[in-house]
């Protein structure tokens, strides 16, 4: 048996949303790894699952999809891992490999994908299963607790940064400055991009300055300049209008949220004309993950974390929703 924090009914996050249960340790299939979880990050996507802001998949479910652990058991046909290997597990748990998207290198759009902590049990537990093709070796530069946020906040932030299509010395604006924001800031600094940060939290504004922001302010304040590209990390539709207001001609707005409240009407002539672009970031590919982990080691990325116990997952998620975690929250399993 193992301990797990289990979602058994949907509702607004509170101190009893997830229940600590003893459940069976799963057995790996022939292509699967059984991973002993050491740390699991907490993410806004976990909140969207719990509060049913995503289409219902299954209940009960164990959330958690930013996982760092070790291989405990191997399926009979696994050849690329050994017992004891340190591995990370991400939101993308498996894809079909056969559809038009998978065949064209766009597996992030696979219509038959499965997702960790949503369609299959995730990392708020002592063990989980993952297809061996969707686990990643943790670079030696990172211990497990600082590695965990890399496997969603980091990878999805990296894909958003790529879609922003910035050139050297251009200006990036970030709306929201949590787990993903503080990683994107380090990528921007590495590629010599100036950084503007919009966030309501004074503490997060201070954190942004620590990570190199030349200007910080609230979402509706006027910055010192307009940005060449914007990444939105907060699930608030009104921010799209503010992002466009602060984007230069020809600029791009990348929205990296899996869920977002409704976007207000957009004034085409004022906000979208002059070849401004808006795009969503949908998951990521294994190629993205490998590129990012290599880059994270080279920079090297330094994640700022706040540690919680597994049984305090509800507390961590409540704090995350209210913006009271600086950097990334992680559960020690």
Predicted pLDDT of residue 320? 97
**pLDDT band, residue 152 (cuts 50/70/90):** very high
pLDDT at 58: 84
The whole-model pTM stands at 0.96
What rounded mean pLDDT belongs to the chain? 97
Q: How far is the CA of 232 from the CAs of 163, 177, 216, 293, 301, in angstroms?
A: 12, 9, 15, 22, 20
- Report the relative pairing of strands 171-175 and 194-198 from DSSP bridges: parallel
User: What is the pLDDT averaged over residues 100-119?
Assistant: 96
Mean pLDDT in residue range 225-244? 97
> Is the pLDDT assigned to residue 228 strictly greater than 80?
yes
For position 36, what pLDDT does the model report?
98
- Please state, for a pLDDT cut of 90, what percent of the chain lies above it: 99
For 137-224, where are the alpha helices, taking DSSP H only?
144-147, 153-164, 179-190, 202-210
The Cα-based distances of 239 to 70, 243, 264 in angstroms read 39, 6, 9
Determine contact, residues 229/164, Cβ cutoff 8 Å. Answer: yes
Run of H or E residues at 133: none
pLDDT at 57: 75
Angle at 145 between CA 90 and CA 315, to 5 degrees: 85
**pLDDT mean over 101-121:** 96
> How sure is the predictor about 147, in pLDDT bands with cuts at 50, 70 and 90?
very high
250: buried, middle or exposed (CB in 10 Å: 19+, 13-18, 0-12)?
exposed
Give the residue among 186, 170, 218, 216 at the shortest CA–CA distance from 299. 186
The residue-averaged pLDDT of 150-172 equals: 97
Tokens representing residue 13 in the block: 């996050």
State the Cα angle at 95 between 297 and 140, rounded to 5°.
20
pLDDT at 56: 78
Please check whether residue 40 is in contact with residue 124, taking contact to mean a CB–CB distance below 8 angstroms: yes
The pLDDT tens digits of the residues spanning 239-255 come to 999 999 999 999 999 99
What's the DSSP call for residue 66? Answer: -
User: In the chain, what are the domains?
Assistant: 2-151+303-332 (3.90.180.10), 155-280 (3.40.50.720)
Write down the pLDDT at residue 196. Answer: 98
pLDDT tens-digit series, residues 27-79: 999 999 999 999 999 999 999 999 999 997 789 999 999 999 999 999 999 99
pLDDT exceeds cutoff 90 at 183: yes
Q: What is the pLDDT of residue 280?
A: 96
């Amino acid at each position: 048996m193992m301990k797990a924090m289990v979602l058994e009914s949907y509702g607004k996050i509170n101190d009893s949303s997830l229940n600590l249960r003893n459940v069976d340790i799963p057995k790996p299939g022939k292509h699967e790894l059984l991973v002993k979880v050491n740390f699991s990050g907490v993410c806004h996507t976990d909140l969207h699952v719990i509060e049913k802001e995503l289409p219902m998949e299954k209940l009960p479910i164990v959330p958690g999809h930013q996982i760092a652990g070790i291989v405990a058991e191997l399926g009979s046909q696994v050849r690329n891992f050994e017992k004891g290997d340190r591995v990370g597990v991400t939101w993308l748990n498996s894809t079909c490999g056969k559809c038009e998207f998978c065949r064209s290198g766009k597996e992030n759009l696979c219509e038959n994908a499965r997702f960790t902590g949503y369609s299959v049990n995730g990392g708020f537990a002592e063990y989980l299963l993952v297809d061996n093709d969707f686990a990643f070796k943790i670079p030696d530069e990172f211990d497990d607790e600082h590695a965990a946020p890399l496997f969603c906040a980091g990878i999805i932030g990296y894909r958003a940064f790529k879609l922003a299509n910035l050139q050297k010395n251009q200006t990036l604006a970030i709306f929201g400055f949590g787990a993903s924001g503080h990683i994107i800031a380090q990528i921007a600094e590495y590629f010599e991009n100036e950084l503007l940060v919009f966030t309501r939290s004074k503490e997060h504004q201070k954190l942004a300055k620590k990570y190199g922001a030349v200007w910080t302010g609230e979402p509706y304040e006027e910055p010192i300049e307009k940005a060449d590209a914007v990444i939105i990390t907060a699930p608030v539709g009104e921010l799209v209008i503010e992002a466009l207001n602060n984007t230069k001609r020809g600029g791009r707005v990348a929205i990296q949220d899996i869920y977002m409240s409704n976007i207000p009407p957009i004034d085409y002539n004022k906000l979208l004309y002059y070849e401004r672009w808006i795009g969503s970031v949908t998951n990521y590919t294994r190629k993205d993950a490998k590129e990012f982990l290599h880059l994270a080691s080279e920079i090297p990325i330094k994640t700022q974390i706040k540690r919680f116990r597994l049984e305090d997952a509800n507390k961590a998620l409540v704090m995350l929703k209210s913006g009271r975690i600086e950097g990334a929250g992680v559960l020690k399993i």
